[in-house]
Chain A
Amino acid sequence: DSGVTQTPKHLITATGQRVTLRCSPRSGDLSVYWYQQSLDQGLQFLIQYYNGEERAKGNILERFSAQQFPDLHSELNLSSLELGDSALYFCASTLGTVITDTQYFGPGTRLTVL
């Protein structure tokens, strides 16, 4: 158990809808990272937050947004969902800001868009 929690575990929704994925980092970690893993794109870095502030941005679509709250949990919002958004979404956390520190991954949320 990495100490990173993600909810929900599975999410099934329809195209055009909006969903929110939630992540709680390990106790004491200040950075949260979001990743998307799909069969055709592999594991893609989406975005990083550190202590409430956006720190780095990867291949995140404009339809996606994220935030980190004062209690350090983070939410990834996916809107106007398309079939191609079906994927596993992982969050990871680290103590500091350095993206190349060892990252501790949550179990993931499997999103299915029908």
Chain B
Amino acid sequence: SQQGEEDPQALSIQEGENATMNCSYKTSINNLQWYRQNSGRGLVHLILIRSNEREKHSGRLRVTLDTSKKSSSLLITASRAADTASYFCATDANTGNQFYFGTGTSLTVIP
């Protein structure tokens, strides 16, 4: 399965600290996306990085992509309590119209 794996499964930090979560996948991709999900709610798109990009920024978010290692990381700087959520990476499979979500990292930011 192409399904990605996020690491760590759960992360707890103090407000103001940075949070880093990682995603690994198995096959070649066209792009990779990160989504956020607040408890029991729908997913919200955060950022998309294409396979020919290595780094992308959006506000307090920084995403890196290493296609040679089939991995990506999401860095949230200066975290806030409102960042508490689950974070998922999502990839296509580059061989068909499929879309795979990772297992998610549950982030808790303590005020």
* CB <8 Å contact, A107 and B92: no
- A-B pair number, CB within 8 angstroms: 59
With A42-B103, A99-B92, A100-B92 in contact, is A58–B42 under 8 Å at CB? no
* CB <8 Å contact, A107 and B45: no
Contact surface of B with A, Cβ cutoff 8 Å? 3, 30-31, 33, 35, 40-45, 48, 88, 92, 96-104
Chain A interface mostly helix, strand, loop or mixed? Answer: strand
Contact surface of A with B, Cβ cutoff 8 Å? 2, 4, 33, 35, 42-45, 48, 55-56, 58, 88, 90, 92, 99-100, 102-108, 110
- A48 — which chain B residues lie within 8 A by C-beta? 97
Q: What is the distance, in angstroms, from B62's C-beta to the closest C-beta of chain A? A: 18
- A108 — which chain B residues lie within 8 A by C-beta? 40-42
* CB <8 Å contact, B98 and A99: yes
Q: How far is the CA of A48 from the CA of B31 in the complex (A)?
A: 18
Contact of A107 among B41, B98, B103 (CB under 8 A): B41
- B103 — which chain A residues lie within 8 A by C-beta? 42
